[in-house]
Structures are given as structure tokens and as C-alpha cells.
Amino acid sequence: MNRLQLVENIFKKKSLLCVGLDTDLGKIPRHLLSEEDPVFAFNKAIIDATKDYAVGYKINTAFYEAQGIKGWVSMEKTVNYIPKDIFTIADAKRGDIGNTSEQYARTFFQTYPFDSITVAPYMGEDSVKPFLQFEGKWAIVLGLTSNAGSADFQLQQCGNELLYQRVLRTVATWGTPENIMFVIGATRKEQLQEVRALLPEHFFLVPGVGAQGGDVDTVCRNAMNKDGGVLINVSRGIIYASSGDDFAERANEEAGKYQKGMEQYFH
Amino acid sequence: MNRLQLVENIFKKKSLLCVGLDTDLGKIPRHLLSEEDPVFAFNKAIIDATKDYAVGYKINTAFYEAQGIKGWVSMEKTVNYIPKDIFTIADAKRGDIGNTSEQYARTFFQTYPFDSITVAPYMGEDSVKPFLQFEGKWAIVLGLTSNAGSADFQLQQCGNELLYQRVLRTVATWGTPENIMFVIGATRKEQLQEVRALLPEHFFLVPGVGAQGGDVDTVCRNAMNKDGGVLINVSRGIIYASSGDDFAERANEEAGKYQKGMEQYFH
């Protein structure tokens, strides 16, 4: 999916909502466990319930990989079930030397039809570039993450800036705002403003809203740009809103509330 | 596999050789393509041909993932075929927030029976710790990699040291030399000495020997410790030594040469 298509969908739906499919067999409603593919049955119901409000779906590949072959089958069925006008993210945090990153790019862009993949920057330019060679596909590179461990390296002083700032500034030169986004797990106003000032054009994937404590208004007020420019991911707050028979209904309600909270920022 | 078992095997074989199974359908001998599972047929022959010289096998998961379900089947057959006294590495470069890293640990330590997995450090402590909770299993954390892109961030000044030095020093405090190793893609004498001085006890996984230009003697002379302390990975130089019918025979010869080069460092 190219940037124009993504931006059109954002303005049509007045939404920045990305629904995170971190589907865990231990957490889905019990009655689904008798289905042939419980993970896909759950995802299908969640997608049906949220697709009017979502402009993206993020599949956390770890939860699927842990199930072995079965998990990859569920993942393939899921990504194929997502409506074609909704942006798909393989949240896989890959990154390796060039010839290996190329294999990962083929995995998620050709073997599976994702629009984008999350990429770890530690190994530098030749580990990221192979993801930028596919028309209409995106690398979403880790900038600042929302976990406690972000303090260990990302927030360390590196020359006259912090490491994550150097990562943002450097990685941005390897591609364009048409094929690179950044993971920005910022929840504080100043940080969001500072990152937006550094990169006025790029899209940010913002996790950490809901269960992890961030809020939609702070993100919208401080990080949106003229194209929207932000995908706000919510996983547990939507997909596990209820663990009962009404899980899809409740996911629909929660997704609707998030979208309503975003609507006011589109004039 | 615990450290004692690994060290015993190293001294028994007088070898630090790890064979990298970066098995690429486009590079294996043509006559194998008619096999039901060409990747496994190739790996099986390579393992048979090199197991007397190798103390480790490193499976580069990207090459398997790119083949979809088929690839995961080949990977599972391969890791199960490796003799139980040889150390196995899932070279997967994973790392994410805690609950997600936990899923990756389950993937490679429980769903598949690997002894270790390579881990990217960018997301910090809670992204690495879940890999350290399994008895006899190891996280092999990226320190200094051997690619050009290592200059982009790893070699940048970070306070009074370089970023990779800070990573080594910090990550070492999260576990012990019994459950953490580091990827050290160093080919220069001074760098190897400096890293060994910083971490006298830890094992290093050293890629970049052979096709990527490093040499065994420099690594052995400058990075070994009393337990061996180094696993030297060779991929292409062994597995693709010939693309003809004699590929296994040639792999055997090359692996033997590498082992011979290491033997002198065991007295």
C-alpha cells in the first residue's frame, strides 16, 4: 500500500486506529478453543468487529511463531482476511546483515502479503535497506520504544543527542517518508513534539496506548501532521475487552470509542 | 546444553567450529531439487559430513522463514537431526517487549529444541531477560557485528565508550557467562583483545570468518579463554564449498581444515 492510499483511508474513516492482533491462545474466550483454528476464528471475529474503525492491523508475529506451523497457518489466513484497503503490519522486529534481511523482506512481503514490517536498527544501514526495495512496502524502524528497557540504550547520550534521536535522524536518510515509518512509543507531550519537529513528514507507529498507559489525545495533539502521520496501536484494550461470548461486540465498542476520540482531529 | 557440556565437547574435538546452515534453495546442488525436502536433504548431508569437526550448528532462520511453512518444516527436521551433543543456535535476531520476547523464547526453546537464540539488544533489559529464564538455554546478544552497518550505531561514541562496549558491559549484568554469549564480529586483533579484556569469562560467537574476510588464527590468538570461549562460525566457506555432486565431501574437507587450524590452540 502506498502513502496516498493509506492517507485516503485515514481521512475517509477519520481514524488513526491500528488494532494489534497479539492473539494468545491462553487469553481468547474458552468457547473458541473447540474451533479447528481458534486463533483465526478469534482474529476473524475481531477483524469483522473493528474493520470500520481501523486503518491498520498489526500482527505480532511472536504469538504465532510460538505455535509452530499451526501459528504460521493462522497468521497467513489472518493477513489474507484483512480487507485490502487496510494497512497491514508484520510486527516482527527483524534485522540482520544484508543477504539475511533480504530473506526476511521476501518472507513478509512476498511469501506473506504484508504492507510493512517492524525492523530493529542496531545493525545499521545494510540491515535496513533490503526492506526498502519493494514498491508499496514499508520498513517501520524502532526509534523510541515504550518499555522500561528503552532507558538502557535508546535514551543514552550519544554525542550531542540521545541514541534514539541519532537513529531517527540517520535511518531517515536511508529512504523516504514513502517507505520508512518509525516506532515511537512516546507518551509524553514534549517527547512527541520533539520527535515530530525532527521528522515532520514521516508516519509514526505509536504503541503503548491503553494497557501500557498512553492516551490518544496527547498523541494526536502533539504528533499528527497534515497527512495524519500517526498510526495509534491498541492491542489488549480492544481484543481482550471481554473474555466472554460478547468479545467481538465489546471489541467493536472499544474500537468505536477510540475512533470517536480521534475524529475531532480531522477537520 | 549447559556450559560444562559445551566446553567438554570443545576440548574433546579440539574445535571451536560452528557450521552455519544458511541454506538457500538457489545455491544448493541442482540434483537435490528433486528431493521431497531439498533443504533438509542438503542439511542432512552437510551435518553428516561435518559433525566430527563441529561443536555448533547455527541455523539462519531467515532462509527458512522465506520458504513459509515448508521452511519451518525443514528447520524442525534439521534441528532434530543435529547430534544432541552439538550446540544449536537459532540465528533469529529476535527481541521485543517482555511478554513478546517470552513468546519468542518459547518458540525457539520449547516449540523447537534450540540451545540458544541470537537476540538484538536495542529494546533493553526487559527484551533480553525472558530468554534467560530457561535452564541450559542461552541468549546470544548482538555486541559488535561484522557488517558495514556496524559503523552506523555500534561504533558511535556513547558517553566515554562506544555503543557496542556499553551494550556488552550492560547486558553482561543481566545474566551470567552460563546463559549469555555475545556476537562479536571482530576481525582485528586490537578489537578482539579489547573485548576479551572487557569480558574475560563469556563465550563469543564470531561470524565473518571465511567469505567475510576474518581469519581463524587472529580470533584464536586474541579471543580464546581457558574454556575455549569462542565459537567461530563459517557458513558459505563450508556448505557451498562445491555446488556439484561432491558438495558433502568438499564440506567435510573444508570443515576438517578449519578444525586443524584450531587444534594447535588446545594444549
Here the ipTM equals 0.96
How many Å lie between the alpha carbon of B214 and the closest alpha carbon of chain A?
16
Q: How far is A12 from chain B (nearest CA, A)?
A: 33
Low-confidence ranges of chain A (pLDDT < 50): none
So what's the pLDDT on residue B225?
A: 97
Are A126 and B145 an interchain contact pair (Cβ–Cβ within 8 Å)? no
CA atoms of B227 and A169, how far apart (whole Å): 42
- Residue of chain B minimizing CA distance to A107: B66
Q: Residue A27 in 3-state DSSP?
A: coil
pLDDT recorded at residue A267: 77
Q: What is the pLDDT, as a whole number, of residue B187?
A: 78
Q: Are A81 and A44 in contact (CB under 8 A)?
A: yes
pLDDT along chain B (267 residues), means of 10: 98 98 95 97 98 98 97 98 98 97 98 98 98 98 96 95 98 98 90 96 91 81 97 96 96 97 92
Q: B260 CA to chain A: closest CA distance, Å?
A: 29
A181: its cell numbers? 515509518
Residue A23 C-alpha, separation from nearest chain B C-alpha, in angstroms: 11
The distance of B266 to chain A (nearest Cα, Å) reads 32
The three three-digit cell numbers of residue A144, written as one number: 523510541
CB nearest B66 (choices: A111, A125, A148): A111
B70, B93, B129, B257: the catalytic one is B93
Q: What is the pTM of this model?
A: 0.97
Region of residue A142 (phi > 0: left; psi between -120 and 50: alpha; otherwise: beta): beta
The cell 467493536 sits on which residue? A252
> In a mutagenesis test of the A interface, which of B122, B156, B212 is the best target, namely the one with the most A β-carbons within 10 Å?
B122
Instruction: State residue A52 phi and psi, 5-degree precision.
Output: -75, -20
| Average pLDDT taken over every residue of chain A | 96
Contacts of A126 in chain B (CB under 8 A): 147-149
CB contact under 8 A, B152 and A125: yes
Contacts of A69 in chain B (CB under 8 A): 69, 72-73
User: In terms of CA atoms, which chain B residue is nearest residue A97?
Assistant: B147
Q: Choose the closest CB to B122 out of A96, A97, A153.
A: A153
B140: left (phi over 0), alpha (psi -120 to 50) or beta: beta
Clarify whether A260 is annotated catalytic.
Answer: no
Q: Do A150 and B60 touch (CB under 8 A)?
A: no
Contact B62 A94 (CB under 8 A): yes
From the list A93, A125, A150, the residue facing B124 with the nearest CB is A150
Task: Name the residue facing A158 among B91, B146, B156 (closest C-beta).
Answer: B156
| pLDDT for the residue numbered B209 | 84
Q: How far apart are CA A80 and CA B73, in angstroms?
A: 22
Q: What is the spatial distance between Cα B229 and Cα B182, in angstroms, rounded to a whole number? A: 11
CA B65 to chain centre: 18
**Residue of B111, B125, B153 with shortest CB distance to A122:** B153
Question: Which residues are within 8 A (CB) of A17 and not within 5 positions of it... i.e. 6 or more apart?
Answer: A50, A53, A54, A55, A56, A231, A232, A234, A255, A258, A259, A262
CA closest to B22 among chain A residues: A100
Cβ contact A95–B96 (<8 Å): no
In total, the C-beta contacts within 8 angstroms joining chain A to chain B are 181
In the 8-state DSSP scheme, what is residue A214? B
Closest by CA to B46, choosing from B62, B59, B65, B64, is: B59
> Which residues in B lie closer than 8 A to residue A111 (C-beta atoms)?
65-68
CB B73 to CB A72 under 8 A?
no
pLDDT given for residue A184 in this prediction: 97
Q: Using the 8-state DSSP alphabet, how is residue A217 labeled? A: H
Which one of A14, A44, A77, A93 is the catalytic residue?
A93
Q: Which amino acid is at B197?
A: A
- Inter-chain contact B123–A107, Cβ cutoff 8 Å? no
